[in-house]
Amino acid sequence: MRIVRDFSSDPPFEVLTPDEIRVPFLFNSPHSGTGYPQSFLDASRLDGRRIRRSEDSFVDELFGSVPAHGAPLMRANFPRAYLDVNREPYELDPKMFTGRLPAYANVRSLRVAGGLGTIARIVAEQEEIYARPLEVDEALERIEGIYKPYHAALRKMLARLHVSFGYAVLVDCHSMPSVIRGLDQRSRPDIVLGDRYGTSCWSGLVDSAVEILTGLGYAVARNKPYAGGFITEHYGRPGKGLHALQIEINRALYMNEDTYEPHAGFGRLAADLSTFVGEIVQLGASGFRSTALAAE
């Protein structure tokens, strides 16, 4: 965790770009940010350890090899508990705020009902974040100042790839708790790939991703329990040459989930993910566009 003053002086996100973009892939890590504004911590009822429970810790580092493979890597510096860009821009719970939300706010989504809207009410296991209601203007300020610029940068990069290559592939990178309520831990997958049940990405790419990761020794599931969030759904338009694939990595593979520290498995996983990235992006360099992708 880093304590920051605000995100007007500290950049809320970064795009790490290689000297030459050689493939039509963009990797995105929207939940790995560790910069916590002091004012946010002061408003929270949680201590510094518990408030981090919704972080996708170290995911940006696990995918740190991406620029070396000729693709950009976008990463958030703000934490998911502060603002979740994997939601619609105005999924907001009116019970969280003093003042009236805009009429266009989506106050009835399932994610809002679960406490995990654009401004989250809880972190994992139903722990309430805030000690008291927030001002509506504060929520809108986060959306205007961070959410919208983040998605504007995402769209700009995807458009750049689409123009250069004729199509673009977004790989949205996340991590998941090793224990998920309602599932048998003995059958918990190492990695879950989500393509919104075949609607957000060319199936051949997902098939190849499964094959690569399985070949590296990982247990891989498809769409269950994570089929992809707002980013995957919103940006995945295969018919227009825009493909989005979500990848969820079991945190037990690389970190101590109680201390938020990497363990001995981190290095192996990072090396394997570098192999995965290198192989999956080669689809773009070896006729991905001219085969089934163009047909979709």
Number of domains in the chain: 1
The reported pLDDT for the residue numbered 255 is 98
Does residue 105 belong to any structural domain of this protein?
no
What tokens were used for 155? 């769209």
**Beta-carbon contacts of residue 159 (< 8 Å; ≥ 6 apart):** 168
Asked if residue 32 lies in contact with residue 75, where contact means CB atoms within 8 angstroms, the answer is yes
CA dihedral of residues 156, 153, 241, 118 (deg, nearest 10) = -150
* Run of H or E including 243: strand 242-250
Asked if residue 247 lies in contact with residue 171, where contact means CB atoms within 8 angstroms, the answer is yes
Does residue 118 belong to any structural domain of this protein?
no
Question: Position 69: which residue type?
Answer: H
For the stretch 22-75, pLDDT in tens is 999 999 999 999 999 999 999 999 999 999 999 999 999 999 999 999 999 999
Domain extent, residue 172, equals: 2-39+55-80+135-295
For the stretch 64-75, pLDDT in tens is 999 999 999 999
**CATH number of the domain bearing residue 165:** 3.40.630.40
First to last CA, the chain: 43
Residue 288 pLDDT level (bands cut at 50, 70, 90) = low
Backbone φ and ψ for 133, nearest 5 degrees, come out as: -60, 150
Does residue 89 belong to any structural domain of this protein?
no
Does residue 99 belong to any structural domain of this protein?
no
Placement of tokens 């916590």 in the chain: 36
What tokens were used for 133? 């209601």
Residue 275 pLDDT level (bands cut at 50, 70, 90) = very high
Does residue 85 belong to any structural domain of this protein?
no
Strand partners, 262: 255
Average pLDDT, the chain: 93
